[in-house]
Every structure is written in C-alpha cells, then in structure tokens.
Amino acid sequence: MALIKCPECGESVSDKAPNCPHCGLAIAGNIIPCPECGAVVPKGTETCPKCAFPLQEVKEQVKNVEASPAPQKPAIKASEEVLEKIGPVFLEAKELYEKKKFVSAYDKINIALSAAPNNTECLKLEAAIVSGICDHSQKVAEDLFQAKEYAKALAEIDAALKFAPNSQALLNLSNDIKRAKARRKTRITVISVLVVIAIAIVAAMSIRKSFTAEEENEAWTAAQDSNTVSCYEQFLEDYPDGAHSMDAQEMLLKLQKDENDFWGRVRMSSDVYSYEQYLKKFPQGQYVDQAKTSIDSLDWVKASKKNTPEAFAEYLAAHPEGAHVGEAQSANDKIAATVPTPEEIAGMKSFFSTYYAAVENKDESSVLDFFESVTPKYYGISNASKSDIQTNIKKMYAKDIKQVHIAINDASFKVTKDESGNFHVTFPIDVTYDREDAAKTNTSSMTVTAVVNSNQKITSIISNKNSNTL
C-alpha cells in the first residue's frame, strides 16, 4: 500500500482504496502515474493536467512494445549503416526493459541514442524506461517511508532523480519524507533532549572541536573560490547550521540546475566534443558516467565505420577498459587474418609460375593437378571438367603455333585473402606465340584474375577479353 494524492481533491489517500474518502473518486485500478512529472491521474486521461504530457500516446507506445510478438528491427530515421549499429542495442534495451531491469536498459538505450540521438523509437523507449525507474523507486521509497526509514527512502528518490530530475511525483514524495523526518525530531521527549544536551556538553568538554566564526568564513571563502557542487556539499556537511548555510544551499541548487540544463543539451548531441566539454565543466558531476559511456560509444561507431586496424588501435588506446574492447580486438584480428603474409604472397607467385610452366610444356597431367575435378569458373566455362581444360590446352597449339611463352609481371602481382582462407590473385602476363612463320610471331598482354582455395586448387581463373585460352 502507498499513499498518493487524489487527482480530484488533492487529499492523501491509499492507492488500494476503492474510492477517495474525501471526494468519492474511484481510486484502486483507476489511476496511473504521469511518466513525465509523476502526478497521479485517472485512467483514460489523454493529457497530464500538470505538465501537459500526452498520456494516451505513451500508453499506446508502451502497449505496442509489450505486445510485440518478437524483436523487430526498429524503425529509426537514420541511414542503413546506423540502423545496423543501433538495432541490436535497441532490442537488448527493449528486452531488459521488459524484464524490468530498467537501469541496465537505460544504459543500453543511451548507447543507441548516442549514435542516433533523434530516433523516435529510441526516444520513446527511453521515456518508458525512465517511467519504469521512477515508478519502481517511488514504490520502494513509499514502503521505506511507511517503515519510517527516511534516509533510505530519500536515497532511493535521489537515485531516481538522476534519471528524471523534474519528476514532480518524486519531488513531492521527497518533500513529504523530509517534513515527516522534521516532525519526528520535534517529538523528542524532554528526557531525550536532556540526554542529547548532556552528551553534547561532555563531548564539547572533551574531544569535539567547536568551529569558530572565523573558521566558517575561511571555509565559505574557499567554497566560493572553488564554486563546485562537491565543495558546497562539504561546507554544508561541516557547517550545517552556519551563518552561510542558506547561501551554500542556494549556490548548490543553482549549480545543480546549471548542470542539469547543460546535460540536457549535451545528451542530445552525437558529437564527442560536447560530452568532453561537460566532463571539463563538471568533472565530478552526476552524469559523468553517462558522458563517458557516450564518448566510448561514439568512438566505437567511428572506428567501426572506418573498419581499419589503425581505427581499432586508436579506439583501444583511448578506451583500454571500454565497453567495446572485445569487439575491437576481434575486428582487428579478423582484418589481420585477411591480410596475406609476405610468405603467402611469395607462395602464390611460385604457384602460378609453376602452373604456367606446365602450360608452356603442354604437361596436361601437371596442369590438371592445379584444379579440382570440377572448376566453377574457367575462362568463360561454368563448372569446367578436366576434359574441358585438356581441350583448351590443345587449342593453344593449333594451326601454326610451335610454342607458347608466358611471362608474369611480378611487380604488379596483387594478393588478398578472404575470411575462408581463399586467395584472390590479380596479375598481368605477356603471352608470346612462336609460329611456323617467324614473321608472324606475336605477343599479347592480358590481366589474369584467379581464386585459389585453401587446398591449393584453382577454383576460378579468367583473363581480359583479348584472350580466352589460358
């Protein structure tokens, strides 16, 4: 059971009461909290009367999320490349939200928003997550409030306000708890007061060091010079009832508001510089962890887009403990595996030198050893058999051709490697045809493109259009 404010008359009433005892409004099962300000309103209300938040739209959005039969690729207004990056993160955030792991869901959806800050579906899910955080924290705080564990209740509310600093429901509950805490202090018995006074006197006469007006003024000057949240908080802790305590509270509230306003602008940015400026301005701010997470995410998106060893190395150097370290190392290893070694390049040169030597010598048996029983692509022939290859070799020496000489241009020999271990080779060759009539001897230049599998067999070989014979 939790105490709420009746949306009709404003009086306190249990959320389990069938009707408000003051005005008769139906309560149990007929009220919902506004996800924006936390105000309690009757079900079916289209717009929050306090903050004008569109309740009907949120209700339908949440209903659609919950009714979704299976994770689907979010309809985001971004490029396909960005969609592919944020889609898995969005779905993970959605799954965590459905499991009521709201804080983890919030961290994930903010990673997606860092890459696509204006995406409608991401913003909707973020609003639902924040609403879930607020609802959960409000219930926990209300239970602690009923148990008179005021400090724990206030701590729970403060944690939730980091996600929704303007939640009116949480702020109202916080004020109620603070007032109750103050009232409890006033109910101290005379005996308790005397005991406290006696203890205070004894402590003052022994080890407790009393602060002087001069000491407070020095501390206040130091706090003003630093002008940070932590300094004002420390001052209030040391001098809670000092002459400058009200001034310190005002400055503290102002700095907290400035930070919230600044963060409100920064969190919608996809620029690393904006988050770095926040960290510079508020090095001990309440959103430091979120800013660092956003920088990490944006740097990873940048590295992934470049997809080079240099880009991944730059990310790892900047974020040695980042969220994407494992992915960066894996991507780097994947790229490295597709870069042929000098030994592999030399091996391919030797491979094709041997192949063309067999072709020159009309050594059909040796030539056929370079191919599987069926070759998918062989100079315009699909799924060529060894018989097709033999026929092609014989055609080379038809008519008046006595000898064929094939020279590979090593300087332009290029080799790449795919993830399956296949070598993709491109190189120019000069083919000289010695004829019966020496005057008719000629040379043709062409470019050969071939694929050699991990078994050292040619699976594809073609040349440019000025030759289809090798």
Q: Give the pLDDT confidence score for residue 1 in this predicted structure.
A: 45
**Domain-located, residue 277:** yes
The C-alpha atoms of residue 264 and residue 266 are separated, in whole angstroms, by 6
- Paired residues of 40 in beta bridges: 33
Question: Are 76 and 175 members of one domain?
Answer: yes
Q: Give the pLDDT confidence score for residue 3 in this predicted structure.
A: 61
Question: Are 442 and 403 members of one domain?
Answer: yes
Q: Is the pLDDT of residue 73 over 70?
A: no
Question: Are 245 and 304 members of one domain?
Answer: no
Q: Is the pLDDT of residue 208 over 50?
A: no
Number of Cβ within 10 Å of residue 172's Cβ equals 16
Mean pLDDT of 19-26: 78
The CATH number for 158's domain is 1.25.40
pLDDT digits (tens, 9 = 90+) for 319-364: 988 899 898 888 888 887 788 989 999 999 999 999 999 999 989 9
- Paired residues of 31 in beta bridges: 42
Q: Is the pLDDT of residue 200 over 80?
A: no
Q: Is the pLDDT of residue 59 over 90?
A: no
Question: Are 146 and 257 members of one domain?
Answer: no
Mean pLDDT of 259-288: 83
| Dihedral sign computed on CA atoms, order 292, 310, 305, 421 | negative
Q: How far from chain centre, in Å, is Cα 350?
A: 47
**pLDDT confidence bin for 257, thresholds 50/70/90:** confident
Last residue of a domain, one of 182, 216, 236: 182
Alpha helices in 338-385 (DSSP H): 342-360, 364-368
Asked if 170 and 201 touch (Cβ cutoff 8 Å), the reply is no
Name every residue whose Cβ is closer than 8 Å to that of residue 217 and which is 6 or more positions away in sequence.
244
**DSSP designation for 463:** E
Question: Are 272 and 248 members of one domain?
Answer: no
Element (H, E) at 171: helix 168-186
**pLDDT confidence bin for 70, thresholds 50/70/90:** very low
**pLDDT confidence bin for 235, thresholds 50/70/90:** confident
**Domain-located, residue 470:** no
288-306 helix and 102-115 helix, angle to the nearest 10 degrees = 50
The number of folded domains in the chain is 4
281 is in which domain, residue-wise? Answer: 267-337
